[in-house]
């Protein structure tokens, strides 16, 4: 069985350490792959940071929605209480 160089595409022996055409070091390829595998298990990987960032944005969005809802309910209650005062004060003056 043989392997192909990722840099130039030349067919090499399975046990080759360097590409016979361009000199690519097949050992470096293994090290890079191992580093990528190890990086995904770290808590500081890109995926983890991206997920944490998305969770933070979701929380901020939820808090903003709740704040808007609370303000809206407060305005409704205020308007309702002021309209009840106007109605009750208007009915007592006509008697």
The 10s digit of each residue's pLDDT in 52-94 is 677 788 889 999 999 999 999 999 999 988 887 776 665 555 5
Outline where 1-95 has alpha helix (H): 26-41, 46-93
Is residue 11 in some structural domain?
yes
Q: Per the structure, how many domains does the chain have?
A: 1
Give the chain's end-to-end CA distance (angstroms, integer).
106
pTM of the model: 0.40
Q: Is the distance from CB of 18 to CB of 24 less than 8 angstroms?
A: yes
Strand-pair partners of 3: 12
Strand-pair partners of 4: 11
Q: Which residues of 19-29 are buried (b: 16+ CB within 10 A; e: fewer)?
A: beeeebebeee
Is residue 32 in some structural domain?
yes
Residue-range definition of the domain harbouring residue 7:
1-41
């Amino acid at each position: 069985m043989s392997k192909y160089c990722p840099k130039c595409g030349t067919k090499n022996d399975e046990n080759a350490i360097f590409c016979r055409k361009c000199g690519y070091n097949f050992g470096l390829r293994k090290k890079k792959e191992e580093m990528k595998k190890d990086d995904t298990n770290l808590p500081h990987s890109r995926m983890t940071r991206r997920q944490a960032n998305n969770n933070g944005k979701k929380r901020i969005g939820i808090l903003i929605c709740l704040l808007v809802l609370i303000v809206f309910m407060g305005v409704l209650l205020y308007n309702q209480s002021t309209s009840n005062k106007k109605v009750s004060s208007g009915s007592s003056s006509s008697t």
